[in-house]
Every structure is written in C-alpha cells, then in structure tokens.
Amino acid sequence: MAVAVSAFGTYPGGKEACLYTLSNGKGMQAAVTNVGAALVQVMAPDKNGSMADVVLGCGRAEDYMDNSCFLGVVVGPNANRTGGACFCLDGVTYHLDANVGSNNLHSHKTMGWHKRFWEAQTGENSVTFSLEDGDGSLGFPGVRKVSVTYSLEEDNALRIHYHGTSDSRTILNLTNHTYFNLEGHDSGSMEDHELWLGASHFTPTDSESIPTGEIAPVAGTPMDFTVPQRIGDRIGADYAQLKMAGGYDHNWVIDGWDGTLRHFATAKAPVSGRILEAYTTLPGVQFYAGNFLEEQAGKGGISYGPRMGFCLETQYFPDSANKPQFPDTVFGGDRAYDAVTVYRFTTM
C-alpha cells in the first residue's frame, strides 16, 4: 500500500515536517514524522474490531520540540544514562552534557537526535528516516550516519529497523521511547495492564538510577514479570529499587539474547482486549511505567500525566560505556550498528 503523506507543521529554521501514515489490509495504521523520527500514532483494533490510537503523542511537529518526556521519539546517539556524564574510549575521555545531576540522560535533552529533523524516504508501506551527525557532536566521536525504518506488516506488526555507521569508534545505543496505552492514549492510567517479560534478571541501580554493574535475579522481588502481573499491583512496594525510581524504570536483561529476534514482552489490556507482543534483537529493555510523565497537552487536547503510558525501550544496557561486563556499545569502522524491534498487535 502507498504511504499517505500530509503536512504536520514546521521545524525550527523553516523545514516543513510531514506525517507519514502506513496502513495495512486489516485497517491498522501507524503514523510517523521527521522530528525525532517519532512514532506519532498507532491505530489498533480491540477485541470487537473497534480502532483506537494506542500511543501517546503530539498533534503537530512544533509540539515535539517541547517534548520533555520523549513521547514516541528515537533517542540517540546514546539512549538512557551515562554515569558521571563521561566515558573513556581508546584512552580518550569524552565528556557529555551533565543534564541529570552529575550524570547524562539520553545524550542531550535539547539537542539529542530526538529533537533533530530526519530526512525521510518512503518505500512500499515503509518510511526510512536518515540522519548524519558530525565528529564531536554532543561529545561523541566519529561522523555517524544512521537510519531508522518503520514498516507495517499484514500481521499487524510494526517493525523498526535501526542501522548506523561511523568513520571511527564511537558509542551507539538507539531506542524508541513510545508510551503505550492499549486501552487508548486518552484512557487514563495503564496500571491495570498485565505484563509478561522474558527476563529473569535486571540491572539494579544506585540512588541516581545509574546501574551498579550487577546483573541480579528478579526471583522473589517485585521486578519479577516472568509470570504475568498487573503493572500496578507491586509498583508501590516497599522495595528499594522501586522507591528510588518512583516505580518501574529499570533495564531488564532479556533471556537467551544472541542477536536474533526474540519475543521478550507481552502486555494485555483488560477492557479492550488488545495485546501487544514485543520482539527485539537487542539484549535489554527499559520498562518505564511513566512515573514522572509530566502534565502536558497531547493529541486531541488530551492532557497526559503520570502512568498514562508505559514504555518498552529496547536497548543495550544503561551506562554500558562504563561497564565492560555489559554488552559492548562500541561501534564504528567495520562494526556497524544494526538492530530490529517489532511491536505486534493482537487481541484476546
């Protein structure tokens, strides 16, 4: 099917942003835009066939420039947290923006790739966004060329393919920061959703949400989703990791990671009967329950707030640049960055 293209507003400096809408034969749609290569909308059927938009987002390109909670955007060049806002690579120390205390979050809050304008090229029911960033930009070495391709398949699977190269060794760790609510983006809290994670370990953090370097079992803790659990049941438990983060905001270690596409999560909405199955080639997933989702205007005049959506941010582990025991995030030269994440929508 052809990709529908419509105006979506203006990027600072005058570039016109578009909304690219993918559709399949079952009536599902996914819409993306140039700003932050953001996933703006996903229309998915419920158990009765009724469609609803199940991702939180903004109604025009300009609003993505004020998107402090990273709704739907691609985060790069390095997603998540870097302790001390620095890392050492090949004997050189690189300094990043200290934007959360003395640490770095998502590379840069105002100039990271989630705020950049990505050039778009449409394909057969797909859109590929491309970006080039110069050596030293945001504190990272290497001239980096990256692409993100969204494609919508006939089995209601939204596929995201990331690819990146660099002319020298650098750190690359991209993710998509979409907030899902399978009852609909305007339906309020998502704490009634049931979640299963194929992850028997997670990476505990210190009080500043920087991983300690430990890979700890989830068994016997509120972090255990190896048996499906209602998200809200234990989110307020008297458990140090949850109290420090205000709820779930941690990296889970995907069982059996070998670089192939693996089913790592299933979320179910009790009222609509929508199911989200998630797959990735990456080793980790940041499950974020929207604990600090700020009050902000969303699509259709909806006001978003805490825990109205949850994120399944597939990734390499946080602070991997400083944790040699974690999977390696050094790319460049003859090692290209290449990853796939799939979000497939079904019903009960």
In whole angstroms, what is the distance from residue 325 CA to residue 212 CA?
Answer: 11
In whole angstroms, what is the distance from residue 157 CA to residue 14 CA?
Answer: 34
In whole angstroms, what is the distance from residue 124 CA to residue 155 CA?
Answer: 16
List, as one string, the DSSP characters of 264-304.
Answer: EEEEE-TTT-EEEEEEESSSEEEEE--TT---EE-GGGPEE
161 an active-site residue?
no
Question: How many C-beta atoms lie closer than 10 Å to residue 146's C-beta?
Answer: 23
Taking the C-alpha atoms of 267, 268, 272 and 273 in order, what is their torsion angle to the nearest 10 degrees?
130
The answer to whether residues 100 and 81 touch, using CB atoms and an 8 Å cutoff, is: yes
3 state SS of 213: coil
Contacts (Cβ under 8 Å, ≥6 apart) of 138: 77, 96, 97, 107, 108, 111, 112
Contacts (Cβ under 8 Å, ≥6 apart) of 293: 69, 179, 304, 305, 306, 307, 308, 309
Give the closest residue to 168 by CA, choosing from 214, 129, 199, 136. Answer: 136
Give the closest residue to 72 by CA, choosing from 41, 26, 34, 103. Answer: 41
In whole angstroms, what is the distance from residue 196 CA to residue 28 CA?
Answer: 24
Ranges of beta strands (E only) in 96-156 are 104-105, 119-123, 126-133, 144-152
193 an active-site residue?
no
Q: Give the strand pairing for 144-152 and 296-297.
A: unpaired
In whole angstroms, what is the distance from residue 36 CA to residue 76 CA?
Answer: 9
In whole angstroms, what is the distance from residue 338 CA to residue 146 CA?
Answer: 10
Q: Which is the catalytic residue, given 177, 185, 193, 201?
A: 177
Instruction: Report the catalytic residues.
Output: 177, 313
